[in-house]
């Protein structure tokens, strides 16, 4: 048994302890240490890509050890094609968010310690295969995120942080009851593979009635995290108040924990629940796509605009997951990664001008393409990727989701497609107002173009934005077997005729 | 009675005392006497430290003798006529001896400066704490309703006095008075309940065992007798039910369960804060231990009939405690009221004793055993930080949330400890508080009370709000030089706080040994 996954999960924790040794006054040393730890973690995780065997549907690099014997709880980690990409996305964004934290000056040591602990929580969530362990990581990640928003956030940060915390808490505690129920009805085990083996055996583990309740309990926790309409209200607050790096993590990784929860736990464990709730989930996904986009159009604040666009983009992911066709689910998983890259990059870019001008209002800018031409170019590429321009990553995900959804529910696919058009409206309109036209504000005349640190954080993102857009098979190839395996749970669900 | 019979009876009575099993209690009584002596012998000013040291070493002695005698289990004070013990020393007793003595030790260890601050009488303070401990030890080992009663009264009378220890504060006197009056009222309930059960047994004495034809029980207050009575009597007289209900009310009062909690706001508020910390953890644990003894053993046949009542008591206690805690602007009151909520969680576990799942009863008892210890540690830790931060005992605005502003940057370690206590109380991993709640709700789900578990977790989520408020003030709000007060961060408080914080994390990550201890302590 190798300790590869354990190393990936806990290098940031060890790093957070190391941070305590660095003198608090030396901000350069603090930044460098944090960056190096994140980079080490990334390079430790990177070889997973080649070591992972894409033809094997079972979990790989499995680690299993007894943790709490009284309750048969195990420390149980494993990786499949779906979590592989999300783990790599998380470790990839790690160094980038450290670079994106140049605007932070207040108690840097605590800031980076929180960020590193958060990294552990997120990686653990993607790798845990014991329901109890999963729950622990899921909750552990709350506290550092709460501090990131609450200490280093904007003016309304306390309200946003508390709202974020309580929303997540309510959802996840009901999931805890669901987890307990599973434990007592599966022969006292939290082991995901054992539970799945029982769930897929003839007769199944739970009655259809019980599955509905369990699905509802899990889905609530995950839907709040995604966030799905109507549980999305914490997201704009959290995003707007969080510091830039916090927003990048939030959009890039944290929201994926919700969609990951669906694809890993809620959907495969309770197929009867999926069957029952599929129409509702598709409807909410479509509402989320359109509603998020419409609200984005009218936002005067760039960061809020991007935040609401997340609601819309995550709606696509949910649409793809619940369409339950091979293309749609594949599209949904790659769209999770895409959203992490594009929206993460958008938040970084908004942060760039915010650090210079301390305003995020669209009306405070205008014509800044003249003073920041390179910034404008990068922004253009990232924005177009978010819109879904063919040749960039966003297109691949949305296209596959919509193609896949059409065979399940043409209505949902058609309505969903309007989201792409609306995205073009709100992003292009925002772009025009910020970058083109006359330089109306004098303060903007002296704006400096991108600094080296900003380039360093943006270039890796740009590479992958183009890479996925041009040759997605690098990434799709790794997850095909796992997604096929996932879909076998739902063979009994027929396409929804008439929708 | 022939001389020989007489002699045997006397000898049997003496042998039945089984003093060896009660060594820890004997040590405790000896310590109490020494404390009295030290106070008399040493001059007033100098006795402070002496009394505290004697108490601390005495409590360590109690713990050591508990460990030494832990295999010497069985009944004690065995009646020579019926052969039944008055008190039972089993693993359950041993577990609670350790927990309760440890909690008392923590409170004694931090009291020295604080007691001078509130100008209380020193020897009396320690004496009352130790006597209260003695009463609680009687409660947890009682095999007879009269011993339960004796234990509760010994404990309660000490607590009345402890609440009123801040003699110069009106609120302290008021709290003590209310607690005393209402507590005496409850005593009447307890006595009346015992009398009714005893009377019920007398009413049906004539009934004989259906097979052997022998009289199977006699009127008695012994828990084993009562169990036998309920087991074998086909139609249980109504007054027995009523008696059980009254005894239940008395317990509910002692554990401050809604709607019998009305004494607690004033008592908790008025009492010196060390006493509040003590009262909200140890006596509740003892009350639940005795409750388990009486209901899980004695009234096990009819306990199921009281489940609907207990169900509502659990729901009301959790919810109402939360509402009260949410509205507070003082951290001391918030902690005190939230202890009502935590007692509600314990009732959830208690109800699970009657569930339908596999070993449901055992799971419930284990959950209670685990939770009372964890709760005591995190609760006392949190109260101690509150003591350290309180600006002035006589200040009306004492214990305000504002005092915590910027603490995370002023006193990072202290704030970190408080952070651990708060997330543990809120039930967030990786802390012991999370596992405790997990234990309780898993017992409830296992026993089939899923609805109760859902109400419980929702309350737990609501409680996050007021625990977060402390964290918000410590870390999220900026320092406010004006409201900033002195910090009373003495080394004795710091040591105990850090011990508590580390214990919370260690138990949270590696709970197996404590869980095994709880497992072994379950009454077979």
Determine, for residues A180 and B442 on separate chains, whether the beta-carbon distance falls below 8 Å. yes
Q: Which residue has the higher pLDDT, A122 or B13?
A: A122
Determine, for residues B454 and A174 on separate chains, whether the beta-carbon distance falls below 8 Å. yes
The pair of three-digit structure tokens given for residue A353, joined into one six-digit string: 């001008």
Question: Which strand (E) or helix (H) includes residue B78?
Answer: strand B74-78
Nearest CA-CA partner of A323 in A283, A284, A278, A291: A278
Collect all residues of chain A within an 8 Å Cβ-Cβ radius of residue B519.
Answer: 70
Torsion angle in degrees (nearest 10) through CA of B315, B316, B322, B327:
160
Q: Which residue has the higher pLDDT, B297 or A422?
A: A422
Collect all residues of chain B within an 8 Å Cβ-Cβ radius of residue A177.
Answer: 441, 445, 450, 453-454, 457
Bridge partners (DSSP) listed for residue A191: A130
Q: Chain A interface residues facing chain B, Cβ-Cβ under 8 Å?
A: 68-71, 107, 135-136, 139-140, 142-143, 146-147, 150-151, 157-158, 161-162, 165-166, 169-170, 173-174, 176-177, 180-181, 183-184
Going by C-beta distance under 8 Å and a sequence separation of 6 or more, which residues neighbour residue B335? B276, B280, B379, B382, B383, B386
Collect all residues of chain A within an 8 Å Cβ-Cβ radius of residue B449.
Answer: none
Interface residue B409 vs chain A (CB under 8 A): yes
Determine, for residues A143 and B445 on separate chains, whether the beta-carbon distance falls below 8 Å. no
Size of interface A-B (CB pairs under 8 A): 82
Interface residue B445 vs chain A (CB under 8 A): yes
Q: Which residue has the higher pLDDT, A200 or A87?
A: A87
The confidence score (pLDDT) of residue B376 equals 92
DSSP states of A75-122: EEEEE-HHHHHHHHHHHHHHHHHHHTTTT--TTHHHHHHHHHHHHHHH
Interface residue B36 vs chain A (CB under 8 A): no
Residue B365 CA to residue A193 CA, distance in Å, equals 31
Nearest to A177 among B450, B477, B519 (CB): B450
Residue A99 CA to residue A123 CA, distance in Å, equals 20
Residue A279 CA to residue A302 CA, distance in Å, equals 33
Give, in order, the Cα–Cα distances in Å from B362 to each of A286, B236, B290, B291, B439. Answer: 49, 26, 16, 15, 12
Collect all residues of chain A within an 8 Å Cβ-Cβ radius of residue B446.
Answer: 180, 184
Determine, for residues A158 and B458 on separate chains, whether the beta-carbon distance falls below 8 Å. no
Q: Which residue has the higher pLDDT, B317 or A453?
A: B317
Nearest to A68 among B461, B472, B511 (CB): B511
The confidence score (pLDDT) of residue A497 equals 44
- Closest-CA residue of B relative to A188 is B446
Tell me if B250 sits within 8 A of B190, measured CB to CB.
Answer: yes
Collect all residues of chain A within an 8 Å Cβ-Cβ radius of residue B345.
Answer: none
Residue A291 CA to residue A233 CA, distance in Å, equals 12
Q: What is the mean pLDDT of chain A?
A: 87
Determine, for residues B464 and A68 on separate chains, whether the beta-carbon distance falls below 8 Å. no
- Closest-CA residue of B relative to A158 is B476
Nearest CA-CA partner of B100 in B372, B369, B282: B282
Determine, for residues B461 and A169 on separate chains, whether the beta-carbon distance falls below 8 Å. yes
The confidence score (pLDDT) of residue A246 equals 87
The confidence score (pLDDT) of residue B77 equals 81
Determine, for residues B476 and A173 on separate chains, whether the beta-carbon distance falls below 8 Å. no
Collect all residues of chain B within an 8 Å Cβ-Cβ radius of residue A166.
Answer: 461, 464-465, 468
Does residue A446 surpass a pLDDT of 90? no
Rg (CA), chain B: 23
Determine phi and psi for A242, rounding to 5 degrees.
-65, 150
Determine, for residues B434 and A139 on separate chains, whether the beta-carbon distance falls below 8 Å. yes
Determine, for residues B457 and A70 on separate chains, whether the beta-carbon distance falls below 8 Å. no
Determine, for residues A70 and B512 on separate chains, whether the beta-carbon distance falls below 8 Å. yes
Nearest to A170 among B441, B445, B461 (CB): B461
Determine, for residues B429 and A147 on separate chains, whether the beta-carbon distance falls below 8 Å. no
Cα A89 vs. chain centroid, distance in angstroms? 9
Tell me if A130 sits within 8 A of A192, measured CB to CB.
Answer: yes
Nearest to B445 among A107, A142, A181 (CB): A181
The pair of three-digit structure tokens given for residue A393, joined into one six-digit string: 């990553």
The per-residue pLDDT for range A248-296, each reduced to its tens digit, is 888 888 899 999 999 999 888 888 888 889 889 999 999 999 999 999 9
The pair of three-digit structure tokens given for residue A391, joined into one six-digit string: 């040749």
Q: Which stretch, A130-144, A199-213, A437-451, has highest mean pLDDT?
A: A130-144
Collect all residues of chain B within an 8 Å Cβ-Cβ radius of residue A70.
Answer: 511-512, 515-516, 519
Q: How close does chain B come to A184, measured CA to CA in Å? A: 6
Q: How close does chain A come to B310, measured CA to CA in Å? A: 21
Collect all residues of chain A within an 8 Å Cβ-Cβ radius of residue B511.
Answer: 68, 70
Q: How close does chain A come to B92, measured CA to CA in Å? A: 18
How many CB atoms within 10 Å of residue B391? 18
Collect all residues of chain B within an 8 Å Cβ-Cβ radius of residue A181.
Answer: 445, 450
Interface residue B476 vs chain A (CB under 8 A): yes
pLDDT class for A499, splitting at 50, 70, 90?
very low
SS (H, E, C) B358-416: CCHHHHHHHHHHHHHHHHHHHHHHHHHHHHHHCCCCCCCCCCEHHHHCCHHHHCHHHHH
Tell which of B322, B439, B468 to mutate to test the A interface (max A CBs under 10 Å). B468
- Closest-CA residue of A relative to B517 is A70
The per-residue pLDDT for range A181-226, each reduced to its tens digit, is 888 888 888 888 888 888 777 666 788 888 889 999 999 999 998 8
Tell me if A42 sits within 8 A of A98, measured CB to CB.
Answer: no
Nearest to B441 among A71, A165, A177 (CB): A177
Determine, for residues A176 and B464 on separate chains, whether the beta-carbon distance falls below 8 Å. no
Interface residue B477 vs chain A (CB under 8 A): yes
- Closest-CA residue of B relative to A135 is B429
Tell me if B472 sits within 8 A of B423, measured CB to CB.
Answer: no
- Closest-CA residue of A relative to B450 is A177
Collect all residues of chain A within an 8 Å Cβ-Cβ radius of residue B475.
Answer: 147, 150-151
- Closest-CA residue of B relative to A151 is B476
Q: How close does chain A come to B76, measured CA to CA in Å? A: 32
- Which ipTM did the prediction report? 0.86
**Mean pLDDT by groups of 10 residues along chain B of 524 residues:** 80 76 90 87 73 90 89 79 81 91 92 75 86 93 91 93 85 88 90 90 63 63 82 80 89 88 85 88 91 82 81 92 87 88 91 64 84 92 86 60 81 89 90 91 87 90 89 82 68 88 91 82 70
Determine, for residues A140 and B454 on separate chains, whether the beta-carbon distance falls below 8 Å. no
Per-residue exposure over B13-49, b if at least 16 CB sit within 10 Å of its own CB, e if not? eeebebeebbbbbebbeebbeebeebbeeeeeeebbe
The confidence score (pLDDT) of residue B482 equals 65
Nearest CA-CA partner of A112 in A159, A156, A147: A147
Determine, for residues A70 and B461 on separate chains, whether the beta-carbon distance falls below 8 Å. no
Determine, for residues A177 and B423 on separate chains, whether the beta-carbon distance falls below 8 Å. no
The confidence score (pLDDT) of residue A168 equals 87
Determine phi and psi for A231, rounding to 5 degrees.
-100, 20
Determine, for residues A158 and B472 on separate chains, whether the beta-carbon distance falls below 8 Å. yes
Question: Which strand (E) or helix (H) includes residue B89?
Answer: strand B85-89
């Amino acid at each position: 048994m190798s300790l590869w996954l354990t190393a990936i999960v806990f290098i940031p924790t060890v790093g957070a302890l190391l941070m305590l040794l660095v003198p608090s006054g030396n901000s350069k040393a603090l930044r460098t240490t944090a960056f190096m730890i994140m980079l080490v973690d990334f390079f430790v995780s990177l070889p997973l890509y080649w070591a992972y065997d894409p033809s094997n549907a079972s979990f790989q690099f499995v680690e299993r050890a007894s943790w709490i014997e009284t309750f048969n709880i195990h420390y149980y980690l494993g990786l499949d094609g779906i979590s592989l990409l999300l783990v790599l996305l998380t470790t990839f964004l790690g160094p980038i968010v450290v670079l994106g934290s140049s605007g932070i000056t207040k108690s840097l040591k605590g800031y980076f310690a929180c960020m590193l602990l958060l990294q552990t929580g997120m990686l653990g969530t993607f790798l845990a295969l014991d329901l109890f362990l999963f729950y622990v990581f899921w909750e552990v990640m709350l506290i550092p995120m709460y501090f990131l928003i609450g200490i280093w956030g904007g003016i309304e940060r306390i309200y946003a942080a508390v709202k974020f915390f309580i929303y997540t808490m309510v959802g996840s505690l009901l999931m805890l009851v669901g987890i307990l129920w599973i434990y007592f009805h599966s022969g006292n085990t939290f082991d995901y593979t054992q539970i799945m083996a029982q769930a897929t055996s003839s007769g199944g583990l739970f009655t259809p009635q019980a599955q509905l309740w369990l699905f509802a309990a899990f889905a609530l926790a995950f839907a709040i995290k995604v966030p799905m309409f109507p549980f999305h209200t914490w997201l704009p607050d959290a995003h707007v108040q969080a510091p830039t790096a916090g927003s990048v993590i939030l959009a890039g990784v944290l929201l994926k924990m919700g969609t990951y929860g669906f694809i890993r736990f809620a959907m495969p464990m309770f197929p009867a629940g999926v069957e029952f709730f599929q129409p509702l989930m598709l409807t909410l996904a479509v509402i989320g796509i359109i509603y998020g986009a419409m609200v984005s159009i009218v936002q005067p604040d760039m960061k809020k605009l991007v935040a609401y666009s997340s609601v819309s983009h995550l709606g696509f992911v949910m649409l793809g997951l619940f369409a339950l066709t091979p293309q749609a689910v594949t599209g949904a998983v790659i769209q999770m990664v895409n959203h992490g890259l594009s929206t993460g990059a958008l938040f970084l870019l908004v942060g760039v001008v915010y650090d210079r001008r301390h305003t995020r209002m669209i009306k405070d800018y205008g014509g800044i393409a003249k003073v920041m031409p390179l910034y404008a170019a990068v922004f253009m590429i990232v924005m177009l990727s978010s819109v879904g321009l063919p040749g960039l990553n966003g297109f691949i995900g949305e296209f596959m989701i919509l193609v896949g959804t059409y065979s399940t529910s043409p209505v949902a696919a058609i309505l969903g497609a309007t989201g792409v058009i609306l995205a073009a409206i709100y992003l292009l309109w925002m772009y025009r107002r910020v970058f083109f036209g006359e330089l109306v504000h004098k303060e903007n005349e002296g704006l400096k173009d991108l600094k080296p640190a900003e380039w360093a954080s943006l270039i890796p993102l740009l590479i992958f934005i183009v890479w996925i857009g041009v040759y997605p098979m690098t990434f799709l190839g790794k997850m095909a077997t796992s997604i096929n395996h996932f879909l076998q749970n739902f063979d009994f669900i027929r396409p929804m005729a008439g929708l | 009675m022939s001389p020989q019979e007489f002699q045997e009876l006397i000898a049997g009575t003496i042998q039945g005392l089984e003093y060896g099993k009660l060594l820890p209690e004997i040590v405790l009584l000896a310590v109490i006497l020494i404390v009295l002596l030290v106070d008399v012998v040493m001059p007033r000013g100098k006795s402070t430290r002496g009394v505290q040291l004697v108490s601390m070493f005495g409590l360590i002695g109690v713990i050591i003798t508990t460990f030494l005698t832990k295999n010497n289990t069985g009944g004690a004070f065995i009646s020579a006529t019926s052969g039944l013990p008055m008190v039972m020393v089993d693993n359950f007793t041993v577990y609670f001896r350790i927990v309760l003595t440890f909690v008392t030790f923590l409170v004694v260890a931090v009291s020295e400066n604080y007691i001078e601050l509130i100008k209380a009488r020193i020897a009396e303070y320690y004496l009352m704490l130790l006597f209260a401990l003695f009463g609680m030890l009687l409660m947890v080992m009682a095999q007879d309703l009269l011993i339960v009663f004796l234990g509760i009264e010994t404990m309660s009378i000490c607590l009345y006095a402890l609440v009123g220890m801040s003699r110069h504060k009106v609120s302290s006197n008021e709290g003590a008075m209310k607690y005393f009056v209402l507590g005496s009222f409850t005593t009447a309930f307890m006595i009346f309940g015992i009398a009714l059960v005893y009377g019920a047994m007398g009413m049906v004495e004539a009934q004989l065992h259906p097979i052997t034809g022998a009289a199977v029980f006699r009127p008695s207050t012994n828990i084993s007798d009562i169990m036998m009575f309920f087991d074998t009597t086909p139609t249980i007289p109504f007054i027995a039910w009523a008696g059980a209900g009254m005894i239940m009310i008395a317990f509910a009062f002692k554990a401050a369960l809604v709607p019998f909690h009305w004494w607690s706001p004033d008592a908790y508020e008025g009492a010196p804060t060390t006493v509040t910390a003590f009262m909200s953890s140890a006596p509740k644990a003892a009350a639940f231990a005795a409750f388990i003894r009486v209901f899980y053993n004695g009234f096990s046949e009819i306990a199921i009939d009281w489940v609907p009542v207990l169900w509502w008591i659990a729901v009301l206690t959790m919810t109402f405690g939360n509402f009260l805690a949410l509205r507070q602007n003082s951290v001391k009151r918030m902690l005190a009221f939230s202890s009502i909520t935590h007692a509600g969680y314990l009732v959830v576990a208690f109800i699970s004793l009657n569930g339908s799942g596999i070993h449901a009863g055992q799971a419930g008892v284990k959950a209670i055993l685990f939770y009372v210890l964890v709760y005591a540690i995190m609760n006392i830790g949190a109260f101690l930080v509150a003591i350290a931060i309180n600006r002035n005992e006589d200040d009306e605005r004492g214990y305000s949330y504002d005092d915590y502003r910027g603490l995370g940057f002023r006193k990072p370690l202290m704030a970190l400890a408080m952070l651990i206590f708060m997330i543990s109380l809120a039930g967030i991993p990786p802390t012991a508080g999370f596992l405790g709640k997990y234990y309780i709700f898993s017992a409830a789900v296992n026993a089939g009370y899923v609805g109760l578990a859902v109400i419980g977790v929702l309350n737990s989520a609501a409680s996050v709000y007021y625990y977060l408020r402390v964290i918000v003030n410590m870390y999220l709000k900026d320092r406010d030089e004006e409201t900033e007060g002195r910090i009373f961060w003495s080394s004795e408080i710091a040591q105990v706080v850090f011990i508590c914080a580390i214990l919370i994390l260690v138990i949270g990550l590696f709970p197996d040994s404590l869980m095994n201890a709880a497992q072994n302590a379950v009454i077979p």
